[in-house]
């Protein structure tokens, strides 16, 4: 069963608008972490933001924020005031495991975001 | 500037040939992951190591893929024999997992494999 689901294969958004990229996850582990990575056309993978399952507040990093809804098992990425340079593939990922023992990190299939001028 | 180094960056080979991809993780990182990226499947986890010990390679086709970490500075992913369906970008990533770390991964630039 898919553990990380990104339902939007592609999105087109006008520059300066806010963007929400969806991510839902499935785990029975009470301790887990959620990540978003950006992959521009150059192919590199860039870490954007992290949310721990026990974190009380939603994570924020500059224009990025993570809308963490634990009961719904969703971890949507919000990009405020989008820019042309935000055009890229975005991956949601989850770390699950039992603390130090065997954490593994799995990724969703990604959402390709196009910012229109 | 510490980074994960992967070689080769590009590889074109013929079906049936052996392919070996190498990764030098960031010094001090205790966990190394191998992922395969395709358009259809996104980033699939193939295998990962903690302190050089293999923890899970259930994502790999066992009959043709093998992953090893002969020392702390080298991880290898081998395909023998290669098939056209193995064409993909293979990423190595390392990170300091456990001990309160978040699990942020540092990725190499990837090895783009084309099997003809």
B48-72 confidence digits (pLDDT tens): 999 999 888 888 988 999 999 999 9
CA B83 to chain centroid, in Å, comes to 17
Burial bucket for residue B57 (CB in 10 Å: 0-12, 13-18, 19+): middle
Contact B42, B55 (CB under 8 A): no
Task: Identify the band that residue B102 occupies on the pLDDT scale cut at 50, 70 and 90.
Answer: confident
Give residue ranges of B with CB < 8 Å to any A CB. Answer: 31, 33, 35, 41-45, 48, 50, 55-56, 89, 91, 93, 95, 97-99, 102-107, 109-110
Alpha-carbon distance A45 to nearest alpha carbon in chain B (angstroms):
6
User: Helix (H) and strand (E) counts for chain B?
Assistant: 0, 11
Beta bridge partners of B24: B5
* Token reading at B74: 């080298």
Asked if the Cβ–Cβ distance from B97 to A100 is below 8 Å, we say yes
Residue with tokens 């990764």: B23
Give the pLDDT of residue A1: 54
Length of chain B: 116
Give the pLDDT of residue A12: 97
Cβ-proximal residues to A22 (8 Å cutoff; 6+ apart), any chain: A6, A7, A8, A74, A76, A111
| Residue among B44, B59, B107, B102 nearest A110 (CA) | B44
The 10s digit of each residue's pLDDT in A76-116 is: 999 999 999 999 999 999 998 655 556 889 999 999 999 99
Taking all residues of chain B, what is their mean pLDDT, rounded to a whole number? 93
- In chain B, the residue whose alpha carbon lies closest to the alpha carbon of A99 is B98
Q: Which residues of B touch A6 (CB under 8 A)?
A: 42
| Residue among B46, B43, B59 nearest A43 (CA) | B43
Considering only residues A102 and B107, tell me which one the structure prediction assigns the higher pLDDT: B107
Give the pLDDT of residue B103: 81
* Token reading at A76: 């949507």
DSSP at B25: P
DSSP at A81: S
Asked if the Cβ–Cβ distance from A45 to B55 is below 8 Å, we say no
Q: CA of B100: how far to CAs of B27, B94, B103, in Å?
A: 18, 16, 9
Q: Are strands A10-14 and A111-116 parallel, antiparallel or unpaired?
A: parallel
| Residue among A75, A67, A77 nearest A96 (CA) | A75
């Amino acid at each position: 069963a898919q553990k990380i689901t990104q339902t939007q294969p592609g999105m087109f958004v006008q520059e300066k608008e806010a963007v929400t990229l969806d991510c839902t996850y499935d785990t029975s582990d009470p301790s887990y972490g959620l990540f978003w990575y950006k992959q521009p056309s150059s192919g590199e993978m860039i870490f954007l933001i992290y949310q721990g399952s026990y974190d009380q507040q939603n994570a924020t990093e500059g224009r990025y924020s993570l809308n963490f809804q634990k009961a719904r098992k969703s971890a949507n990425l919000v990009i405020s005031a989008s820019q042309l340079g935000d055009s890229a593939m975005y991956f949601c990922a989850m770390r699950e495991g039992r603390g130090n023992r065997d954490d593994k990190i799995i990724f969703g299939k990604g959402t390709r975001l196009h910012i229109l001028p | 500037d510490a980074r994960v180094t992967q070689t080769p960056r590009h590889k074109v080979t013929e079906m049936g040939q052996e392919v070996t991809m190498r990764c030098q993780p960031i010094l001090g990182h205790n966990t190394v992951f191998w992922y395969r990226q395709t358009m259809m499947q996104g980033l699939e986890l193939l295998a990962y190591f903690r302190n050089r010990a293999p923890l899970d390679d259930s994502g790999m086709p066992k009959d043709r893929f093998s992953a090893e970490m002969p020392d702390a500075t080298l991880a290898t992913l081998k395909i023998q024999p290669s098939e056209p369906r193995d064409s993909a970008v293979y990423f190595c990533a390392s990170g300091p997992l456990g001990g309160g770390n978040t699990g942020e991964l540092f990725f190499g630039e990837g090895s783009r494999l084309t099997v003809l």
